[in-house]
Amino acid sequence: MQDLGQDRLMRAAAEIAECNRILDKSGLNLVGEVLRGFGDFIQFEHYPPEDSYDPESHSQYYFHAHPPGEREWSDYGHFHIFLRPKGMPAGISPVPLPDLAPEGDGNDRLSHIVAISMTHAGQPERLFTTNRWVTAETWYRADDVVAMLDRVRFDTAWPSWPLNRWLSAFLTLYCDDIADLLRERDQAVARWQASHLGLNVFEDRDLEITSCRDIDLSQKLAAFQNNSKSP
* pLDDT tens, position by position, 102-137: 888 889 999 999 999 999 999 999 999 999 999 999
Q: In the predicted model, what is the mean pLDDT of residues 30-56?
A: 95
Element (H, E) at 227: helix 217-229
pLDDT digits (tens, 9 = 90+) for 11-22: 999 999 999 999
What domain count does the chain have? 1
pTM of the model: 0.94
The residue range of the domain holding 106 is 4-229
Q: In the predicted model, what is the mean pLDDT of residues 88-99?
A: 96
User: b/e string for 118-157 if b means 16 or more Cβ within 10 A?
Assistant: beeebbbbbbbbbbbebbebbbbbbebbbbbbeebbbebe
pLDDT digits (tens, 9 = 90+) for 178-218: 999 999 999 999 999 999 999 999 999 999 999 999 999 99
